[in-house]
Structures are given as C-alpha cells and as structure tokens.
Structure 1
Amino acid sequence: MFNRKKSESPGSLPSYDAEQHLSTQQVHRATRTRKIFSVLTAVFLFISVIFVIMVEVGQTYNRSVLRDIYFIKLDLSHIIPAAVPNSVLINSIARTLGLHDFYTVGLWGYCEGYNGDGVTNCSPPKTLYWFNPVEILQSELLAGASINLPADVNNILKLIHIVSNVMFGFYLAGACLSTVMIFIVPLSIYSRWASFAIAFFTFLAALFITVGTVIATVMFIIFRNVIRGVAEINIQATIGINMFALMWVAAAFSIFAWLVQTGLCCCCASRRDVKTGRKKGNKHAYTDTPAGETEKPKARRRFRLGKKAS
C-alpha cells in the first residue's frame, strides 16, 4: 500500500508523502487518541452542565431535592435572644405576625417554612433575582407591623443586588455556552484550527461558571458573617453545603474540559495532520494488522510447534 524508500530499514514503519492518500480506516486509527480526548472533553462539559442546572433549579419549587439546594438559610425562629426576658413568648408572637421560621435562598427565588412543618412555600422563579430580606419580611408582616433591621444589613443589600445580577448572568451564560460546546467539541478531531476556536469558547464557558461560583461563595459567606455579627437580632445564618458542592464541581469539570481541549491544540494528530503528512498519529494505523491482533499469529505458531514436538 505504501512505497518504501530505500533508506528505510525492514523493521521500520513505512513513510509516506503528502500526496499519498490513506484509507478512511487508517485515518480513524491514526487519530484515535485525539478522538478519545475530544469525547472526554464533551463528557466533562456534560457533567458541568448537569451540575449547573442543579444550581439553577435550586429553590424554584417545593420538591424533595430542590428545596435542599440553597445558597444560605436564615433561621428567624429565635430572632429574640434567650437573654431577653420572655424571649420564647416574644418569638411565638413574632411568628403570629406573619414571619416564617426560616428562609432559604436560590438563584431564581427563595423558599420559606417552619421548623416543624418544613418548607411551606417557594416564590415564583424570577429572572435576575436577588435576595432582599427587608422586602420579604416587610411583605409578610401583618398590616401595621414593621421590623427594622440594623444598618449593617441594609448597607450590604446594595452590594448583594449588583453582585447577584452578575452571578445570575454568568451562570446562565456558562450553562448555555457549555451546552452548545458539547456538540461542537467533536469537530476538534478534524483540525487544530478548530481546536483553537473550541478551546477559546470552552475557556469562556469555564470562566463564566468559575467566576459565578467565586462570586456566590464570597458574597454569601460575607452575608452570613454580617448577619451573625448583628447583636440586636438573633438570626442564624448557615451556608448550603449542597449548593456549594454543586457549584464547585461544575466549575472544576468546566476547567478540566478547557485544559483537555487546550492540550489538543498542540498534542495528538488531527485528521488533517495525518492526511497532509504533518503528523503520523497512532503507529498502529500503518500496519496491516489492527492494534491488539498482532500477537495472535505468534500464539498460533507456538501452539503448532508444541503439537509437532509431542
């Protein structure tokens, strides 16, 4: 099939010129390694998208899984400290005024409920949602009742509003871009130029998801510390472990996908490289026997020799 050059040794692989054409099966075998890594990139992106979707749907509906995915949980069941006389009675009165025992925050909305009953209601999903505890508490109190939160909480609300919108946009852009790239990544098998473009957009997807994760982590940790540091009220704030795990797993797999795709820009022969002769790729593509079957004839010969000797 190939014309050997005179300088070739009998045991070496046959060389070929760019003008010579390889069969389709040989090209596929030569680029098998690149295909494996391309599929691996798509798998990493798919996993990242699944976890981002879980982040997106947390707190959108009162379902067994969705209500356990939240950024932060505010517990108002003991809003009056125990050191205050008749604190138990006052807390029960606060509940009759319309306040729920706890509030959990998601990307599209929040849920509320009571310690004995669990989550009782979730807000309708809203685009560019941001958590405003002052507005929520004021809206749920009975007519004529009011609550004044300390200045430290009110000051951080402006920051939460801006950062929440940025985080929302980054997560949505990262999820959409990663989903599109799952179907485009296989094109990197054919050319390195395609790998450069795919690596760039994969980097953007990883950037959006990772930055959104960092923003959410920093913002809600600061918010938790501010709430806990207010001495006038006894609001307990806890970080949602499930949400944070989902966020960082999504970010990690998006980064893995970008690293693998970036490596394909300089490693592993593409089909265009093999056809033009720039790279040979997998050496088994240039042998008459496919990889994994080279030892079978030897085994048969050994069997026959042993049979003659007996």
Structure 2
Amino acid sequence: MFGRKKKSSETLVNDEFHPSKDQIKRATRTRLIWALLSSLLLLISLVFIILVEIGDTSISPIRNKIHFISLDLSNIIPVRVPNAVLINSIAQTLGLHDFYTVGLWGFCEGYNGAGVTFCSKPKTLYWFNPVEILQNELLAGATIALSAQVDDILKLIRVVSQVMFGLFLTGACMSFIMMFIVPLSVYSRWATFPITIFTFITALLTTVGAVIATVLFIIMKNAITAATQINIGATIGIEMFVFMWIAAGTSILAFIIQIGMCCCCASRRDVRTGRKRGSKKTYRGESSEGEPSSETTEKEPGRFSRLRGRRS
C-alpha cells in the first residue's frame, strides 16, 4: 500500500520535470560530439575514395601516381636472348610502350624518358586486358590465339574488376549520403539503429572493394613477375593502396562509433522523457534550487525523483 503511494508520487514528480532546450542540448553534447566525429570519418572516407576513383583518368603528375599496378615492358625480351636490345627497340617502334599503369576507370601508358603520353577514356566497369592492348597497339589489330586457361583467367579478372568497380562507386555514394544522416542519431537511440545498419553497409562496400583490389593485383603482380619467358616488371601502386585502405578504415571506425551510440550516451529524446539525464555538468546549477546535482547520475532518475518528493 505504501509502496503504491511512493510509486505514484515518483511518477508525478517525473512528469513535472521538463528540461529546457538549452539543458537538453548541454546534456546530449557528448552524443553530438561522437555523431559529428562519425560524420567526419565518413567525410574522410569519401575523400580518399574519390582519390581512388580519379587515379589514372587523365595525364596529370598527381593522378598518374595513383594506380593499382604498373607494368614495365621496357626490356620485355631478356638480355640473355641474342639481339635483345634490338628486338626491344623494334617492339617500341611498332607501338609497345615502356610502361602501363592501371586505374579504376582505365589505363595510362608512356615512355621512361617522356613520362605518361596517353590515358584511355574513362570507362564504366573497366577491366584491364593486356592482350587487347597488345592487339591494338603492337600487332595492329591482329588476333592472338589464347589457351583455355588464359581465357578463363581473363574472364575472372573481368568479373572481379567489375565487382570492385561497383563496390567503390556505391561506397562513395553511400558515404556521401550517410555523412549528412549520421548526425541525426543525436535525437533518438531508435533512429540510431537504422543509421548504424546503413553505416555498416557503407563500411562493408568500401572494405570488400579494398580487399578485392588488394588480392587481385597482388596475384596479378606475382603471376607476371613469375613468368620467366618474358621480362616484364610489375609493381603495386602504393598510393592507391594507402588511399583505399584509409577509406575502408575510417568507414569501419564510423560504424563502430554508431554501434556504441545505440546503447551509450543519452539522446535528446531520452533526456526529454526522463529516461536518462545525460551529462551531470548540465544540472550542477540545480543545487541552488534545493535539487541534487553531483549526487545524481545519468541512469538514476528515480533517485532524483525520490529526493525531490521528500523535500516537497
């Protein structure tokens, strides 16, 4: 019986507690900081995905440094072969360039002394086909007979490259959209849950794209350098790999922050309804009005209500 009266009196006091807008903002400042940090991480991810996207799209000292792999064909015939220097010179005269670099939208080619001389037109769902390049440039449209194994490898490269292209492009779009939506999680923990799901999708797209690119071009590099019949050098583009993994890492951090915000840090709805009080610093001024300040914690609205009920 006494317990019921106590419960009803506490409910009445809770109903009388209406924090002002300034108090709500101050009480949820921590949540706002984490939300803005998550949005900033998505912005960083977007910037580095854009750098990945623009790599090797035109002749530029900066863009041409951003590539997945670089192939060195300046000495395609090993020196131990008789007349190797003459054969390499003839190959270059016929149209074979010293190096080829591969980006997400196309490839670039050039000579060691002159630098990059040509970049292909950016193409959606691009994939690097060295056989096609040799046919178009060195052999003037002649066909090359390929074994079934090589043909299967080229088909696999095409599928994997197109999937990677779609992942990076979709990840960039998702990062741009979520960058503006994530700060809305400060208003309610219920709203944070779907935002967290879409942030996870954003991180997943970027990370899977980075993993596919890493595996694909490392395998390609090892396969090319392992071919002893021809002397082709292959090096991984460090800048491209650093950029895409920074993009993946920052998007993962944004997702981790959103997971924490699902259960931690009082939202504005929590403070408004009395579920949580948020930052204790917000209510330190209440001691002058006879209300507890430092003793009251974020998760003890009932204790705060009982103290007010006793004093009334």
> Shorter-chain TM-score category?
0.7 to 0.9
Q: 2:211 matched to 1:210?
A: no
Task: Name 1:130's counterpart in structure 2.
Answer: 127
C-alpha change, 1:54 and 1:18, in structure 2 (3 Å) is farther
1:230 CA drift (Å): 1.4
- Residues 1:64 and 2:53 aligned together: no
Q: List aligned pairs for 1:217-236, cutoff 5 A.
A: 217-236=214-233
1:128-185 deviation digits (Å, cap 9, x = unpaired):
0000010011111254767677876544211110001110111111110110001111
Q: Match for 1:221: what amino acid?
A: I
8 Å CA contact 2:78–2:84 kept in 1: the answer is yes
Alpha-carbon distance in structure 1 between the residues aligned to 2:141 and 2:255: 56
Paired position in structure 1 for 2:153: 156
- CA positional deviation for 1:233: 1.2
Structure 2 spans left out of the alignment, 5+ residues: 1-5, 7-11, 287-312
Task: Return the alpha-carbon distance in structure 2 between the equivalents of residues 31 and 234 of structure 1.
Answer: 63
Aligned to 1:139: 136
Question: Per-residue deviation at 1:20?
Answer: 2.3
Aligned counterparts of 1:153 and 1:209: Cα–Cα separation in 2: 29
The verdict on how the C-alpha distance between 1:143 and 1:187 changes in structure 2, with shifts beyond 3 A counting, is closer
Asked whether the equivalents of residues 210 and 244 of structure 2 are also in contact (C-alpha less than 8 Å), the reply is yes
In structure 2, the partner of 1:302 is none
CA shift for structure 1 position 21: 1.3
**1:36 is aligned to 2:33:** yes
Amino acid at match of 1:271: R
State the match for 2:295 in structure 1: none
The structure with more helix, counted as a fraction of residues: 2
Q: Deviations over 1:212-251 (max 9, x none)?
A: 0000000001111111111221111111011000011110
Residue in 1 that maps onto 2:106: 109
TM-score by length of 1: 0.85
Q: Is the 8 A contact 1:69 1:106 kept in 2?
A: yes
Q: How many residues align?
A: 277
Q: Which residue of the other structure, out of 69, 73, 76, is the alignment partner of 1:76?
A: 73
Q: Supply the distance in 2 between the matched residues of 1:173 and 1:239 (Cα, whole angstroms).
A: 24
Instruction: Identify which of 236, 244, 263 aligns with 1:247.
Output: 244
Mark the runs of 5 or more structure 1 residues left unpaired by the alignment. 1-5, 7-14, 290-310
> Is this contact kept in 2: 1:44–1:253, CA < 8 A?
yes
- C-alpha contact (below 8 Å) 1:150/1:232 kept by paired residues: no
State yes or no: 1:282 paired with 2:274: no
Are 2:118 and 1:121 equivalent residues in the alignment? yes
Secondary structure of 2:31's match? helix
| In structure 1, distance between residues paired with 2:223 and 2:270 | 58
| Distance across 2 between alignment mates of 1:187 and 1:145 | 59
SS at match of 1:287: helix
Q: Give me the TM-score of the superposition, normalised by structure 2.
A: 0.85
Structure 1 position 200 matched with structure 2 position 158: no
Give the counterpart letter for 2:258 in structure 1: Q
2: CA distance, partners of 1:198 / 1:262: 10
SS in 1 for 2:100: strand
Q: Distance in 1 between matches of 2:194 and 2:263?
A: 13
Mapped to 2, the partners of 1:45 and 1:150 lie a distance apart of 45
Deviations 1:11-67 (CA, angstroms, capped at 9, x unpaired): xxxx96144211111000100000000000000000000000000000001111100
Question: 2 CA distance for matches of 1:17 and 1:44?
Answer: 38
Give the Cα separation in 2 of the matches to 1:134 and 1:19.
77
1:55 partnered with 2:52? yes
Pairs within 5 Å for 1:259-278: 259-278=256-275
Displacement of 1:287 after TM fit?
A: 2.4
How many angstroms apart in 2 are the aligned matches of 1:141 and 1:150?
A: 20
Per-residue CA shift, 1:85-115, capped at 9, x if unaligned? 1111110100011111110000000000001
State whether residues 102 and 108 of structure 2, in contact with CA within 8 Å, keep that contact through their aligned partners in structure 1: yes
